[in-house]
Chains A and B, each alone.
Chain A
Amino acid sequence: MRLTCPLCGARDRREFTWIGAASLLGRPAPGGDFVGWAHLRENPAGPLDELWLHNAGCGALLRGARDTVTHATAPLTLAGGAR
Chain B
Amino acid sequence: MHYSGFRVLAEALRGGKGWRPFWRKAAPASEYDAIVIGGGGHGLATAYYLAREHGLARVAVLEKGWVGSGNVGRNTTIVRATYMIPGNQEFYSASLKMWETLAQDLNFNLMYSPRGLLQLFHSDGQRDAFARRGNAMLLQGDDAVLLDREGLRRLVPYLDYAQTRYPVHGALLHPRGGTVRHDAVAWAYARAADARGVDIIENCEVTGFDIAQGRVTGVQTTRGGIAAPRIGMAVAGRSGQLAARAGFRLPVESHILQAFVTEGLKPFIHHVISYGMGHFYISQSDKGGLVFGGDIDFYPSYAQRGNLPMAEHVMEAAMTLMPAIGRARVLRGWGGIMDMTPDGSPIIDHAPVAGLFLNTGWNYGGFKAIPASGLAFAHLIATGAPHALARRFRLDRFASGAVIDEEGTGATHHLH
Contact = CB atoms under 8 A, between A and B. Distances in A.
Contacts, number: 68
Given A38-B411, A39-B411, A71-B303, A13 B309 contact: yes
Contacts of B299: 18, 50, 66
A57 B412 CA distance: 23
Contacts of A36: 249
Contacts of A17: 298
Given A14-B309, A68-B254, A68-B302, A42 B249 contact: yes
* Chain A interface SS verdict (over half): mixed
Which of A12, A42, A43 counts the most B-chain CB atoms under 10 A from its CB?
Answer: A43
Contact of B300 (A1, A38, A48): A48
A35 B301 contact: no
Nearest to B339: A43
B399 interface: yes
B251 interface: yes
A8 interface: no
Where chain B touches its partner, the secondary structure class is mixed
B342 A39 contact: yes
Given A35-B399, A39-B411, A70 B252 contact: no
Interface of A: 1, 12-14, 17-18, 20-21, 35-36, 38-45, 48, 50, 66, 68-71
22 contacts: A1-B307, A13-B307, A14-B309, A35-B398, A36-B249, A38-B342, A38-B398, A41-B250, A41-B251, A41-B252, A41-B253, A43-B240, A43-B241, A43-B244, A43-B250, A43-B252, A45-B238, A50-B299, A69-B302, A70-B303, A71-B301, A71-B307
Q: 4 tightest CB-CB pairs across the interface, nearest first? A: A43-B240, A18-B299, A39-B251, A40-B249
